[in-house]
Amino acid sequence: MKTERPVIFSGIQPSGILQIGNYIGALRYFPLLQDDNQCLYCIVDMHAITVRQDPAKLRHNSRSLAALYLACGIDPKKSIVYIQSHVSAHAELAWILNCFTYFGELSRMTQFKDKSAKHADNINAGLFTYPALMASDILLYQAKAVPVGDDQKQHIELTRDVAIRMNNIYGDDLFIVPEPLIHKTGSKVMSLQEPTRKMSKSDADETFVSMLDAPEIVKKKLKRAVTDSLGRVTYDAQNQPGVSNLLTIISSLTNKPMDALVASYEDKGYGALKADAAEAVIETLGPIQAEHARLMNDTAALDAILKGGAERANVLANRTLDEVKRRVGFTAR
């Protein structure tokens, strides 16, 4: 598939409300990509059901995530915002890729091991094979790059391996082999209660700041953030992970250089650091939350954007899917 601009694909699960780490590590960069690239921002609801979901909550979260994408500055005229299950080609290509993905490759995936431990009563086949669906998400659109955190690099490597394997069998021009797009600055925000672990929306509520948390909740959570007993504000992720995490949040949201930021706390304590972190988060999220609320209250407009996005995504996805079917030997309909 030929496109005038490089394709960038990103998918986020609607299994909970995004947290400030998602914004710092990914969402704030998304609007910067859409002028020079063909960007697809997907709500991957099919991935979400590898663990049990409340149907009504999943539908709400899917629309809420779409609204957050838009509230963060993604322009639906420049980018494609859509829901994964609205494009059936994702599931169709995933089955084909399953047949070219090895059991050993899937069994080594870290997230499968982690989720199996958390959901021992529901270790289903989808949980095991979902990296093939993730590869399908990316390869359907001939994506050149995929914005990911460090913890997702393993999935991109598997996608690359499968793409190269199929290209070697069916022709080098079948799939573009994607690259991970990792933003170095502020790409990892840690848990407020366990600052040696990455912040996650699937953990306990007090460990992360949701992008939809009210200001008083933000202040409460950051006031309770774990620091240490050293009593000095320095950036030392190994020896002062909690303090370093708060500094990362402030630096990322205010664009203040870390050295200058640390120097400004020479005569201040952890209370001031936590208060400043809360202020930076609240000022950043205020306009986003207001636009999110407006979009969620305008059901017709949001649904029209998602419908239009799905229609555009279907055209691109089916172009690749039809070619893959032809090359593997399926009979044309």
Catalytic residue (choose from 2, 77, 113, 115): 115
E-state strands within the chain: 7-12, 38-43, 80-83, 145-147, 179-181
- The identity of residue 282, as a single letter, is I
Joined tokens for residue 59: 């539908």
Contacts of 106 (CB under 8 A, 6+ apart): 112, 128, 129, 131, 132
In three state form, how does the secondary structure of 165-232 look?
Answer: HHHHHHCCCCCCCCEEECCCCCCCCECCCCCCCECCCCCCHHHCCECCCCHHHHHHHHHCCCCCCCCC
198 labelled catalytic: yes
2 labelled catalytic: no
Catalytic residue (choose from 188, 198, 223, 325): 198
Residue written as token pair 């069998």: 169
Catalytic residue (choose from 57, 118, 201, 219): 201
Active site residues: 115, 198, 201
